[in-house]
């Protein structure tokens, strides 16, 4: 019954593919091996297992995790042999027949139902399990497997949480890495731009050092050479002056004894010769030299401006026009200075003379053919302010009233902008004209060659540039303007006069 039940059980759980008897025997052998090992190790305690718990699938592989060999399965006795199983045995030991013909090894008898597990002692025969015992063994293994699974569940959960933490950390690290990569890319772009700028600056500096500096150095070297030449000339001039000053200086133009506040007073005191005199209009200021014309139109004229040969440059600064410049008079061999030189008396002195009372102005002009004209202005006055405003009234003469009426050949606004009466005095370094005040590119004094009472700009330019021969052109002018010694109402804009002078004296009624 046991063998038949075992074979039936083996058929239900056995492997296919071979003959039915072989399958049955092989299955029973595998099951018996498993059960016998467990029973032999457990002895009386059936809950104890001496090997690793393995959970099998529904179709149980009887070989478990043991290795497969080509030579068939072999059995190796356990080194720690457990004691014999107590209690009744399933099989009784079989008697061993006496050897025949001396002591010969007994041939092991094969049991008809062999194919299961062996007892701990071979002589006890083969022990095959029943179906109930298999169920009991499998239930015990199931409890052990469940216990192992329950122990593994917390570890699996911990591992899952750790995996989530690792995943979160890896995700944050990836985000941080992308952000750092973006920053690195931005920094790389900045570095590239900065490098490009540095290379451009380096190229510019190299070009400057290689080209501009040498050129500038050559220019400065040329300027230095010119300055050195000027210094040498000045040293030579100083040496010449020292040689001339070794002898005591002698007065070449003796000053007459007679003097006064102005030339009119000198005339009335007996100084009727035209020459250089000493006057003192204000007792609080020192006396100074002037040239008095005591012969033209009853005399008494004081020379304030004179142009006759171009020997003096009238393109001067404001302070020089304020103080005065040029030569008052010089000797031509008669022992006294009776010949006037080119000069400007000075705005401070002219204002001081005209504020003492009504003044008249005599303007004399000569062209390069020797023709002469005059322009007489009465009640003239130069206001003693910082801008020296010109104020005149009344006219007589044959040269045209340029100061009061402007240029006759112009009309409307073009004419009124050439009137000089009421204008402030201007020089190239102090602009007071009416032509865009404050604009350095629109300055009459800079373009027309000298200081004067410019409007926008002039009809008369007594202090302009001196041109030999009279006529000149725009191409000859420095700025392409009519910058000569001009009186437009007599000779026009493009004719520079040979001689021109301005003289003043106190206004008084001359007896007819």
Containing structural domain, residue 349: 263-506
Model confidence at 82, in pLDDT bands (50, 70, 90)?
very low
- Here the contacts of 260-263 (C-beta below 8 Å, separation 24 or greater) are 261/356, 262/300, 262/302, 262/353, 262/356, 262/505, 262/506, 263/290, 263/292, 263/293, 263/294, 263/299, 263/300, 263/301, 263/302, 263/505
- Residue 456 lies inside a defined structural domain of this protein: yes
Whole-angstrom distance, CA of residue 45 vs CA of residue 200: 94
Q: What are phi and psi of 52, to 5 degrees?
A: -65, 140
Cα 29 from Cα 26, distance rounded (Å): 5
**91 vs 129, more confident:** 129
Is residue 136 in a domain?
no
Residue 398 belongs to some domain of the structure: yes
What pLDDT, in 10s, does the model give residues 60-79? 333 333 344 444 444 344 44
* 95-126 pLDDT per residue, tens: 565 655 555 555 555 554 444 455 555 555 55
The pLDDT of 230-256, averaged and rounded, is 79
Whether residue 418 contacts residue 458, with contact meaning beta carbons closer than 8 Å, is answered with yes
Give the CATH number, domain containing residue 491: 3.90.215.10
CA within 13 Å, CB half, 494? 9
- Quote the pTM value: 0.53
pLDDT for 7 beyond 80: no
Per mean pLDDT, which range of 92-101, 253-262, 284-293 is the poorest?
Answer: 92-101
pLDDT at position 95, please?
Answer: 59
CA distances for 52 relative to 43, 48, 377, angstroms:
18, 11, 142
CA dihedral 85, 87, 92, 94 (to 10 degrees): 50
Structure tokens at 457: 């700009």
The verdict on residue 463 lying in a domain is yes
pLDDT of residue 91: 46
Is the model more confident about 207 or about 386? 207
Token couple for 140: 């015990």
Residue 129 resides in a domain? no
Lowest-confidence pick of 47-51, 302-306, 476-480: 47-51
C-alpha span between 467 and 469 (Å, rounded): 6
Q: CB of 460 within 8 A of CB of 488? A: yes
Strand partners, 117: 127
Contact 83, 121 (CB under 8 A): no
Provide the number of structural domains found in the chain: 1
Work out whether strand 486-487 and strand 460-461 pair parallel, antiparallel, or are unpaired.
antiparallel
Q: Is residue 442 part of a domain?
A: yes
Residues linked to residue 260 through DSSP beta bridges, in sequence order: 279
Residue 511: half-sphere exposure toward Cβ, Cα within 13 Å: 0
Rounded CA separation 477/464 (Å):
11
- Residues 6 or more apart whose Cβ sits within 8 Å of residue 25: 10, 115
Establish if 143 belongs to a structural domain.
no
Cα angle for residues 35, 41, 46 (degrees, 5° grid): 70
Q: Packing angle between helix 131-207 and helix 2-13, nearest 10 degrees? A: 30
Give the pair of three-digit tokens for residue 81: 């042999």
User: In this structure, is residue 470 part of a structural domain?
Assistant: yes
Distance of alpha carbon 395 from alpha carbon 74, whole angstroms: 156
Mean pLDDT of 264-290: 93
- As given in the structure block, the two tokens for residue 506 are 């106190």
Round to whole Å and give the CA distance between 512 and 505: 18
Q: What is the mean pLDDT of the chain?
A: 78
Q: What length does the chain have?
A: 512
């Amino acid at each position: 019954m046991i063998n038949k039940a075992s074979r039936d059980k083996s058929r239900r759980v056995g492997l296919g593919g071979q003959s039915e008897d072989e399958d049955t025997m092989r299955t029973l052998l595998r099951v018996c091996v498993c059960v016998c090992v467990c029973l032999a190790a457990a002895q009386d305690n059936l809950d104890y297992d001496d090997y690793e718990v393995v959970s099998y699938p529904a179709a149980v592989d009887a070989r478990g995790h043991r290795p497969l060999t080509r030579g068939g399965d072999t059995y190796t006795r356990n080194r720690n042999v457990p004691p014999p199983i107590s209690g009744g045995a399933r099989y009784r030991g079989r008697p061993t027949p006496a050897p025949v013909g001396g002591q010969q090894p007994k041939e092991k008898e094969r049991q008809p139902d062999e194919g299961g597990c062996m007892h701990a002692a071979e002589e006890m025969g083969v022990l095959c399990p029943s179906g109930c015992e298999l169920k009991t063994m499998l239930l015990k293994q199931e409890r052990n497997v469940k216990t192992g699974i329950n122990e593994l569940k917390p570890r699996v959960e911990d591992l899952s949480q750790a995996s989530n933490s690792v995943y979160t950390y890896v995700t944050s690290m990836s985000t941080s890495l992308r952000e750092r990569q973006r920053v690195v890319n931005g920094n790389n772009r900045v570095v590239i731009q900065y490098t490009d700028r540095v290379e451009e600056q380096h190229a510019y500096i190299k070009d400057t050092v290689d080209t501009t500096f040498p050129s500038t150095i050559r220019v400065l070297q040329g300027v230095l050479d010119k300055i050195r030449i000027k210094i040498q000339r000045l040293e030579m001039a100083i040496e010449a002056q020292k040689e001339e000053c070794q002898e005591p200086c002698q007065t070449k133009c003796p000053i007459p004894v007679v003097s006064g506040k102005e030339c009119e007073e000198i005339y009335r005191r007996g100084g009727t010769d035209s020459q250089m005199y000493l006057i003192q209009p204000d007792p609080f200021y020192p006396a100074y030299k002037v040239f008095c014309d005591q012969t033209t139109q009853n005399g008494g004229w004081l020379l304030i401006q004179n142009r006759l040969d171009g020997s003096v440059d009238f393109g001067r600064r404001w302070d020089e026009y304020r103080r005065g410049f040029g030569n008052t008079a010089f000797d031509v061999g008669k022992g006294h200075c009776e010949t006037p030189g080119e000069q400007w008396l000075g705005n401070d002195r002219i204002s001081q003379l005209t504020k003492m009372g009504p003044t008249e102005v005599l303007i004399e002009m000569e062209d390069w053919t020797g023709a002469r004209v005059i322009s007489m202005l009465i009640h003239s006055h130069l206001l003693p302010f910082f801008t020296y405003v010109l104020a005149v009234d009344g006219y007589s003469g044959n040269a045209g009233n340029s100061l009061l009426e402007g240029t006759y050949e112009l009309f409307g606004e073009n004419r009124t902008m050439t009137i000089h009466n009421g204008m402030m005095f201007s020089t190239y370094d102090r602009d007071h004209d009416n032509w865009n005040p404050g604009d350095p590119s629109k300055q009459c004094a800079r373009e027309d060659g000298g200081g004067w009472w410019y409007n926008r700009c002039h009809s008369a330019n007594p202090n302009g540039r001196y041109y030999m021969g009279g006529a000149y052109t725009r191409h000859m002018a420095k700025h392409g303007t009519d910058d000569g010694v001009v009186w437009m109402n007599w000779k026009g804009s493009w004719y520079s006069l040979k001689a021109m002078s301005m003289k003043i004296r106190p206004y008084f009624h001359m007896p007819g």
